[in-house]
Amino acid sequence: AEKVAVALPACSAAAGGGYTDTATVRLAMEYLLGQGPQPGAYTLQVPGGYPALRGLMTWSINWDAVPTCDGADGFAENFERIFGDTPTGIVDTGRPGSRAYYDPDTDLLWCTACGAVVLYDQLGRRILFDRRNSSGTTLDLSSLNDGVYLVVEDVQGHAKAHRFVKY
């Protein structure tokens, strides 16, 4: 499926004017995914379809909000009907919050709600270790070379990692 792209015009008034209603799009996608009957003249080039196909592209995004073209959520609603509830990879772990960020203007690494902070370079070498109280810490990174770093913080017993670029 990495060679298959499905691009949809969002509205008949848009460039190309090939708007297709959501029911027809769903039938076509189910066929492409190998989950439904052939809805039109197109014949699959791969028997069984493309079950790994993972998305659609709206061809004319600026038209998506036009009420006569399925409204602002039409594309998203149809995507969900076809592919189901697709996980984003973002998971709420319920762990206490923290915030670590690098300020390039001051060369400081700010870490709020952290206990201990360990800084690694891009080769995995431990560059710095600092243990402060849970109210947070500020670390001066002006002596470090520019590059990609990984900061691992302890937030109430839970390790959280953040990557940043020092420049």
Residues 111 and 79 in one domain: no
Q: What's the rounded mean pLDDT across residues 52-63? A: 73
Q: Give the per-residue pLDDT at 98.
A: 59
Q: Are residues 78 and 103 part of one domain?
A: no
Check whether residue 123 and residue 74 sit in a common domain. no
pLDDT tops 60 at residue 89: no
Residue 157 belongs to what domain range? 99-166
Domain annotation covers residue 132: yes
The yes-or-no verdict on residue 143 having pLDDT over 90 is yes
Is residue 161 situated within a structural domain?
yes
Tracing tokens 């791969």 back to the chain, one arrives at: 46
117 and 51 inside one domain? no
Residue 1 lies in a domain: no
Report whether pLDDT(64) > 70.
no
Q: State which of 24, 59, 83 marks the end of a domain.
A: 83
Please indicate, yes or no, whether residues 69 and 124 belong to a single structural domain of this protein: no
Is there a domain that residue 93 lies in? no
Same domain, yes or no: 17 and 59: yes
Q: Does some domain include residue 92?
A: no
Q: Does residue 31 surpass a pLDDT of 60? A: yes
Task: Kindly state whether residues 146 and 109 are assigned to the same domain.
Answer: yes
Average pLDDT over the chain, rounded to whole?
77
Residues 136 and 78 in one domain: no
Summarised one tens digit per residue, pLDDT across range 103-129 is: 888 888 887 766 778 899 988 899 988
Instruction: Tell whether the model's pLDDT for residue 35 goes beyond 70.
Output: yes
Which comes out higher in pLDDT, residue 34 or 15? 34
Residue by residue, what is the 3-state secondary structure of 92-156? CCCCCCCEEEEECCCCEEEEECCCEEEEEECCCCEEEEEECCCCCEEEECCCCCCEEEEEEEEEC
Determine the pLDDT at residue 133. Answer: 54
pLDDT score, position 160: 81
Asked if residue 78 and residue 17 are part of one domain, the reply reads yes
Q: How many domains does the chain contain in total?
A: 2
Q: Is 79 helix (H, G, I), strand (E, B) or coil?
A: helix
Could you tell me if 104 and 73 lie in one domain? no
**Which residues, other chains included, contact 8 with Cβ-Cβ below 8 Å and sequence gap of 6+?**
20, 25, 56, 57, 58, 59, 75
Per-residue pLDDT at 51 exceeds 50: yes
Q: How confident is the model at residue 14 (pLDDT cuts 50, 70, 90)?
A: low
Residue 120: CATH number of its domain: 2.60.40.3080
Q: What is the pLDDT of residue 1?
A: 46
Q: Are residues 105 and 71 in the same domain?
A: no
Res. 101 pLDDT band, cuts 50 70 90: confident
Examine residue 2 and state whether it is found in any structural domain, yes or no.
no
Q: Is residue 155 over pLDDT 80?
A: no
